[in-house]
Amino acid sequence: MVSAVQTVRDERTAGTRDALMAAAERLFAEHGLSAVSNRQIAEAAGQRNNTVVGYHFGSKTALVRAIMTRRGEQTDVIRRRHVAAVDGSGDVRDWVGALVRPVTEHLASLGTPSWNARMTVQVMTDPTMRELVSEEACARPPLRQILDGLGRCLPEVPDEVRAERGAMARHLINHTCAERERALAEGTGPRYRSWHHTADALTDAVTGLLTAPVTGPREER
pLDDT per residue of the chain (221 residues) written in tens, 0 to 9: 556 655 556 567 788 999 999 999 999 999 999 999 999 999 999 998 989 999 999 999 999 999 999 999 999 999 999 999 999 999 999 999 999 999 999 999 999 999 999 999 999 999 889 888 888 888 899 999 999 999 999 999 999 999 999 999 999 999 999 999 999 999 887 655 799 999 999 999 999 999 999 997 755 54
Question: What's the pLDDT score for residue 193?
Answer: 78
CB-neighbour burial class of residue 75 (10 A; exposed 0-12, middle 13-18, buried 19+): buried
What is the reported pLDDT for 11?
62
* pLDDT tens per residue, range 192-212: 579 999 999 999 999 999 999
**What pLDDT score does 221 carry?**
47
Q: At a CB cut-off of 8 Å and minimum separation 6, what does 107 contact?
A: 114, 116, 117, 177, 180, 181, 195
**Residues with Cβ < 8 Å from 213, sequence gap 6 or more?**
none
Q: What is the pLDDT of residue 220?
A: 53
The amino acid at residue 187 is G
Three-class DSSP category at 171: helix
Between the alpha carbon of residue 114 and those of residues 5, 14, 188, 196, 202, the distances in Å are 34, 21, 15, 16, 20
Give pairs for 138-143: CB < 8 Å, separation 24+. 140/72, 140/76, 142/76, 142/79, 142/80, 142/83, 142/102, 143/76, 143/79, 143/99
Q: What is the pLDDT of residues 13-25, one digit of tens each?
A: 788 999 999 999 9
pLDDT of residue 163: 93
Query: What pTM does this model have?
Result: 0.90
pLDDT of residue 97: 98
Residue 147 carries which side chain, given as an amino acid letter?
L
Q: How far apart are CA 62 and CA 56, in angstroms?
A: 10
Instruction: Give the SS3 label for residue 89.
Output: coil
